[in-house]
Homo-oligomer: A and B are copies of this chain.
């Protein structure tokens, strides 16, 4: 490279030191940053590699090794949900690669627990917080504003919160839901059940009331409902509130509600299921009536899994980029910890419809 002649070689990075030492980047970062545990053998290898390559901690790394706890805090709605478990994995991997540990609290969708969890993370002096929040209204975000006031940066993940102007990393729930319902419409369906809708006691009679109910609940659920309505509108398929499940978000209730939709005079011929338990509930209702898919009923679900792929026939499912979602949230937060200007923007990742064999034309009437 003649153009580079005479320039000093670029200084080695932590990654290069890690590769030379044959250790992970997190181990190299811990050793060179002088924090956290590293076994004596690995520490020696890292220091030998750093000396060989002429590594010198840069100013940023030095500033990061003082006054920073190298810990990120994560508050998720339900760590028992494989979606959030995968997201947390993405956060852990991305933060480890930059030398940070991650501690997680799960709130099980209870806003009071979310407020307490955020307080615990501030008490434990984490450097920043990632929250998948159950908050909806302006009066429900005081705990997040408190964290910000105390100088703890916050990134929202999976769920946008309208009243907060923060960096937010989400998946395009509305677009991919529309694509799924369009796929059902293209196969000839016009009676498409939506499982599940907002957890209200009574089915709202109008789409306006339904959207208002959704707006008072989790952001992702509302977006999926909007995508369903978009697809119906685009195709001129009339909206029928009898085809929307409301009430408790449980497998048992999904089984009942799908049973009801299958018993309507003009029954559902396809279902769009927005959660794993909505799909397994739908499958139970179908089996109880000796119906099979896709001949009697077409099915598309959220979220893809190893099980969905080995069902017979395999299910057409929406695959969310769960690990990338977590990794992106961690990167946005770490960039701001390292001095990047917060851009307070919404980063939207694309989900993907994985087409398998659970969609067919509706049965002849």
Give residues in A with beta carbon < 8 Å to B: 24, 26-27, 30, 36-39, 42, 69, 71, 79-82, 85-86, 88-89, 92, 96, 101-106, 108, 112-113, 115-120, 123-125, 143, 251, 276-277, 280, 283-284, 287, 305-312
Chain B residues near A92 (CB-CB < 8 A):
106, 108
Which among B112, B118, B280, B283 is the interface contact of A42 at CB below 8 angstroms?
B112
Docked-complex contact B82 and A116, CB < 8 angstroms: no
Shortest distance between the CB of A180 and any CB in chain B (Å): 20
Given the known interface contacts A79-B79, A306-B276, A309-B280, the answer about A106 and B104 at a Cβ–Cβ threshold of 8 Å is yes
Docked-complex contact B79 and A116, CB < 8 angstroms: no
Given the known interface contacts A92-B106, A105-B101, the answer about A30 and B85 at a Cβ–Cβ threshold of 8 Å is no
Shortest distance between the CB of A114 and any CB in chain B (Å): 10
Q: Which chain B residue lies CB-closest to A146?
A: B37
Q: Is the interface of A mostly helix, strand, loop or mixed?
A: helix
Docked-complex contact B108 and A89, CB < 8 angstroms: yes
Q: Which chain B residue lies CB-closest to A323?
A: B80
Chain B residues near A124 (CB-CB < 8 A):
71, 103, 124-125
Docked-complex contact A36 and B85, CB < 8 angstroms: no
Chain B residues near A312 (CB-CB < 8 A):
287, 311-312
Q: Which chain B residue lies CB-closest to A125?
A: B124
Given the known interface contacts A101-B117, A112-B42, the answer about A82 and B79 at a Cβ–Cβ threshold of 8 Å is no
Given the known interface contacts A82-B80, A82-B82, A280-B306, the answer about A106 and B119 at a Cβ–Cβ threshold of 8 Å is no
- Shortest Cβ-Cβ A-B pairs, 10 listed: A307-B307, A280-B306, A283-B310, A37-B119, A104-B104, A80-B85, A103-B103, A124-B124, A80-B89, A37-B116
Shortest distance between the CB of A251 and any CB in chain B (Å): 6
Docked-complex contact B101 and A103, CB < 8 angstroms: no
A80 to B81, CA, bound (A): 9
Shortest distance between the CB of A139 and any CB in chain B (Å): 11
Chain B residues near A80 (CB-CB < 8 A):
82, 85-86, 88-89
Given the known interface contacts A89-B79, A108-B92, A120-B36, the answer about A306 and B277 at a Cβ–Cβ threshold of 8 Å is yes
